[in-house]
Structure 1
Amino acid sequence: MKLESHLPRQSPWLYITPLLNAILLLLVYFLFSSGFVIQSGITVEKPRSSSRLTGFDRAHIITIAPGTEIPLYFDGKRVTFEELTERLVEGRAGERRVIIHHDRQAPSGRVVEVVNLAQELGYEAALSTTPTSAPMVR
């Protein structure tokens, strides 16, 4: 015995609409969420200071991370001290400013070496710090 439905046929749009809605929501989600992605990087606990850094908008960033081997990073890529020298020499025609992100636990001798290297090669060097909540009183 063959059973037959006596209900009226549903429009195909009834089934396609939720699918299009889900695709649209996923599209909007991926378009807007890509701007909120935080790039992973090197964790550096910077020293505190009440000074402000201006004029270094497009500067190269040199990061000195803590550790036994004192890793160096130039614009987010790990380099040795010799490779850092080469990159700074290659980039002398472009932006001539560097911001040095150094961890509070990084040896101050290494920070001074990097600052001296940048200045010897004709760069303006600035040390990055974390702002304090209240101005420092001397």
Structure 2
Amino acid sequence: MKLVSTLPERIGFLHAIPVLDLFTLLLLALLMGPTFLNQSGVQVEMPASQYQIPRNADARVITLTEGDPVVLWLGRERLSEQDLVARLKEQTGEGGPIPVAYIKTEQRIPAGVERRIAEQVLNAGFRVYLLGGAKTTEVP
């Protein structure tokens, strides 16, 4: 006696199911894989520091730009050194928190000039922060 199959020779959907399963698993592995990976490095919880710069909405911004003599700006107003010191002394309030001044300096300004202005602002009763630019990897 010979056994004969009663199924048709080509059953398309029965051959497609394993391929769909394979693609589904591959898709799940690609989508979910990165969520199971640990981030590189060491996790460190930083302590709070009293040396963090607080946000100051009412800080004065003093900008030193190139010129002969160096051009001083208080906000968007151009001033001389004497006018700057006088204006800052006017803005110093009695009591309350110490006012803050940020000093932005162009790269070509001599350090001595920047230091002289910073000392005058300190003598006017302000807390001074010297601002720098972002680090770049470009070589001049």
Counterpart of 2:132 in structure 1 is: 129
Query: 1:53, CA displacement in angstroms?
Result: 4.7
- How many residues are paired up? 83
Counterpart of 2:85 in structure 1 is: 85
Aligned pair 1:114/2:112, yes or no? Answer: no
Query: 1:116, CA displacement in angstroms?
Result: 0.3
In structure 2, the gaps of 5 or more residues are 1-51
Task: Please give the root-mean-square deviation of Cα atoms over the aligned residues, in Å.
Answer: 2.2
Q: Hey, what's the Cα distance between the residues in 1 that align with 2:108 and 2:53?
A: 22
Spell out structure 1 runs of 4+ moving beyond 6 A. none
- Scaled by the length of structure 2, the TM-score of the pair is 0.53
Q: Hey, what's the Cα distance between the residues in 2 that align with 1:129 and 1:107?
A: 14
1:89 aligned partner, one-letter code: K
- Scaled by the length of structure 1, the TM-score of the pair is 0.54
User: Is the Cα–Cα contact under 8 Å of residues 62 and 73 in structure 2 kept in the other structure?
Assistant: yes
In structure 1, the gaps of 5 or more residues are 1-51
1:119 aligned partner, one-letter code: L
Q: Which one has the largest radius of gyration?
A: 2
Q: Hey, what's the Cα distance between the residues in 2 that align with 1:129 and 1:57?
A: 19
Local SS of the residue matching 1:116: helix
Identity level (%)? 18
Q: Which has the higher contact order (CA 8 A, sep 6+)?
A: 1
2:92 aligned partner, one-letter code: R
User: Is the Cα–Cα contact under 8 Å of residues 89 and 125 in structure 2 kept in the other structure?
Assistant: no
2:64 aligned partner, one-letter code: I
